[in-house]
Amino acid sequence: MARIVVTGGAGFLGSNLCRALLDRGDEVVCLDNLITGSEENIEELFGEPGFSFSNQDVTNHLWIPGPVDAIMHLASPASPIDFAKIPIQIMKVGSLGTHNCLGLARAKGATFHMNSTSEVYGDPLVHPQPETYWGNVNPNGPRSMYDEAKRFSEALTLAYKDKHGIDVRIVRTFNTYGPLMRPDDGRVVSNFITQALQGQPLTVYGDGTQTRSFCYVTDQIEGQLALLDSNYTMPVNIGNDVEFTMLELAEHVVDITNSSAGVVHEPLPKDDPMQRKPDLTVANRELGWSPKVPLREGLEMTTKYFAEKLGL
Ligand code: UDP
């Protein structure tokens, strides 16, 4: 049993992670400033022994009394629609926020677990993407504030490891979906499912031939916990390596929801990666982990969640 600080603990991934940590007997200190996270996501955790919540912005000085075994740093708006809305907050949380969390880890002698992203690979020219790939990132494009903040976070994490001997983990999270996603999150899975449930056409950006590889949230969390429990200190891809086009994703959602509204095509956003799929060799070898939930099954569970949440 450990005492673990989860930053961004009221967000989609964070709240699923808090639940999983409590279920395995860990004590959780959930930090969130509720910019994109929501108290609703952690409502049912408040009564649990071992859970506490603190409304703090990690870009300011952090105050966590008592011992801490690990800091899992998930705090960051992560949807492309947030990139244009709150770019400065995104850069601050990935720079000042990561710096403060590393300082806290150092002060507490805690392991620092950094949530990085497949976005560090940008619009990848190598496919699938192994951790050794340096990426193809536009440093001043519409996604740069997120991509560069996460790349900075990785570099700072490794600098703290080398200079201060901090025990670190770096997970590169690939597209993840499932219950506790925001219905208005703006990402493709939440958009398609909520549109289909509301009888609206699914908005396919571009011609829909771009690909992503979607990981169900329970797989993502299991992978991250396997990494935390390991002693592997270099970046690890965690995601699903079965790849789909956005048109294929739309077909699944239409089929599951019996939607008859069809699809509409909208312009492809600038710098939208054309393909993305993790090479999971390191995760398999170092963590003995691989994803289990097929897309169809995960979409069915997520559709059920959104239908209940939206009262449809
Ligand atoms: N996308 C889409 N329709 C939407 C939202 C997104 O076709 O309503 C596409 C988007 O252009 C991208 C893919 O779906 O190619 C995944 O987008 P998302 O925002 O979920 O995540 P990303 O992987 O781009 O960060």
Whether ligand 1 lies within 6 angstroms of the CB of 205 is answered as yes
Residue 198: pLDDT band (50, 70, 90) is very high
Q: Look at residue 196 in the predicted model and tell me its pLDDT.
A: 98
Whether ligand 1 lies within 6 angstroms of the CB of 191 is answered as yes
Ligand 1 centre to CA of 187 (Å) is 5
Which residue's alpha carbon is at the smallest distance from atom 4 of ligand 1? Answer: 188
Ligand 1 centre to CA of 38 (Å) is 22
Question: Which are the contacts of 177, defined by CB distance < 8 A and separation ≥ 6?
Answer: 187, 189, 190, 214, 215, 216, 217, 298, 299, 302
Hey, which CATH number is domain 3-176+215-240+277-292, 3.40.50.720, 3.40.30.10, 3.30.1450.10, 3.40.50.11540? Answer: 3.40.50.720
Q: How far apart are the first and last CA of the chain?
A: 40
Q: What is the pLDDT of residues 115-140, one digit of tens each?
A: 999 999 999 999 999 999 999 999 99
Question: Which are the contacts of 9, defined by CB distance < 8 A and separation ≥ 6?
Answer: 15, 17, 18, 28, 30, 31, 32, 37, 42, 53, 74
Whether ligand 1 lies within 6 angstroms of the CB of 80 is answered as yes
Whether ligand 1 lies within 6 angstroms of the CB of 78 is answered as no
Whether ligand 1 lies within 6 angstroms of the CB of 210 is answered as yes
Which residue's alpha carbon is at the smallest distance from atom 21 of ligand 1? Answer: 187
Q: What is the pLDDT of residues 75-118, one digit of tens each?
A: 999 999 999 999 999 999 999 999 999 999 999 999 999 999 99
Ligand 1 centre to CA of 6 (Å) is 27
Which residue's alpha carbon is at the smallest distance from atom 6 of ligand 1? Answer: 188
The one-letter amino acid code at 196 reads: A
The predicted model gives 202-213 an average pLDDT of 98
Q: Look at residue 15 in the predicted model and tell me its pLDDT.
A: 98
- Write the CA distances from 208 to 245, 275, 277, integer angstroms: 6, 11, 16
Q: Look at residue 47 in the predicted model and tell me its pLDDT.
A: 92
Ligand 1 centre to CA of 277 (Å) is 14
Residue 253: name the closest of 183, 195, 206, 308 by CA: 195
Q: What is the pLDDT of residues 240-262, one digit of tens each?
A: 999 999 999 999 999 999 999 99
Q: Look at residue 119 in the predicted model and tell me its pLDDT.
A: 98
Distance, in Å, from the CA atom of 103 to the CA atom of 62, rounded to the nearest integer, reads 9
Which residue ranges make up each domain of the chain? 3-176+215-240+277-292
- Which ligand 1 atom is the nearest neighbour of the CA of 80? 19
Whether ligand 1 lies within 6 angstroms of the CB of 94 is answered as no
List the catalytic residues.
Answer: 146
